[in-house]
Structure 1
């Protein structure tokens, strides 16, 4: 893939993988390590209140842009892209997305500094962002939140604790890195 970039307009090019994940008040039970014969006690709640994280993660430099919002649809996706384009506006962003229905690009405005690439349908394993959500959800198990604000605060702290080395280790794949380097670095 060759993109003609205005070198005066964009100082760098970066690859991001984008996805969304739902987090809610209903807690997910996981395993606990206890002494033999001791049964762990975990409080459980069954509340259907949720929020979503939209995230774009770079395996190239470990950069990320995460947005918390209450829903998924085409208008929200368009607003996310607009906000993402304002993050490092001198960076040209190649964003790999899945084929979710609300990722339809027919009637939305895609910012000038973003180029969207789709992974083939029914191949979530090709999107390393799925591993980022798994990383967060592994820490989410056995958590119980009294209020939605507590959940949102926990998500914010968890996401901001992830440094660039952690993100690169989760999203890094030599196939993606080699293809990016061959196209844009060499």
Structure 2
């Protein structure tokens, strides 16, 4: 069996700081979700002393492993059919910017272009904050 003919993005953004993580995966299922959540938790240092809240859209594949989410990760699921409440939804036009009106020779070419755009976006916290920090979003207070 060859490579998957699909490419999906998992994206995480802190609306206040603009810090982000993007993961490109060939499938959307519970195994991919669990792998991405584990990678995300490790990348942000989630653990017993550092808790991270992830706001999810309630996708059917958002299924934690039997032992639960990685230590330090907590989730809140938004009501169904409410993408306007999900800050990360506003990132898709930024991820798609380099894809518009393009015809890629292969999925690898698409993945390379999209990966480069996502890597660039991770270096643009001010841009991401402008797109994701809703006026009503609760700010973290230390």
The answer to whether the superposition gives a TM-score over 0.5 is yes
Matches within 5 A, 1:121-140: 121-140=80-99
Report deviation, 1:101: 0.6
- Hey, what does 1:84 align to over in structure 2? 40
Contact 1:78–1:108, Cα closer than 8 Å, also in 2: no
Which sections of structure 1, spanning at least 5 residues, go unmatched? 1-47
Local SS of the residue matching 1:174: coil
Are positions 1:147 and 2:106 aligned together?
yes
For 2:99 and 2:133, the matched residues in 1 are separated by 23
Give 4+ residue runs of structure 1 displaced > 4 Å after superposition.
Answer: none
For 2:70 and 2:20, the matched residues in 1 are separated by 18
For 2:139 and 2:23, the matched residues in 1 are separated by 25
For 1:150 and 1:55, the matched residues in 2 are separated by 20
Matches within 5 A, 1:108-119: 109-119=68-78
Report deviation, 1:165: 0.7
C-alpha distance after superposition, 1:49-86 (max 9, x if no partner): 32111111110111111111100111111111111110
- The answer to which structure has the higher strand fraction is 1
Contact 1:53–1:68, Cα closer than 8 Å, also in 2: yes
Which of these residues, 52, 61, 70, is aligned with residue 102 of structure 1?
61
For 1:153 and 1:139, the matched residues in 2 are separated by 11
Q: 1:149 to 1:85 in 2, by over 3 A?
A: same
TM-score (norm 1): 0.66
Greater Rg over alpha carbons, structure: 1
Are positions 1:166 and 2:114 aligned together?
no
Which sections of structure 2, spanning at least 5 residues, go unmatched? none
- Hey, what does 2:31 align to over in structure 1? 75
Report deviation, 1:107: 3.5
TM-score (norm 2): 0.85
Local SS of the residue matching 2:8: strand
Report deviation, 1:114: 0.7
Which of these residues, 14, 18, 28, is aligned with residue 58 of structure 1?
14
CA RMSD, Structure 1 to Structure 2 (Å): 1.9
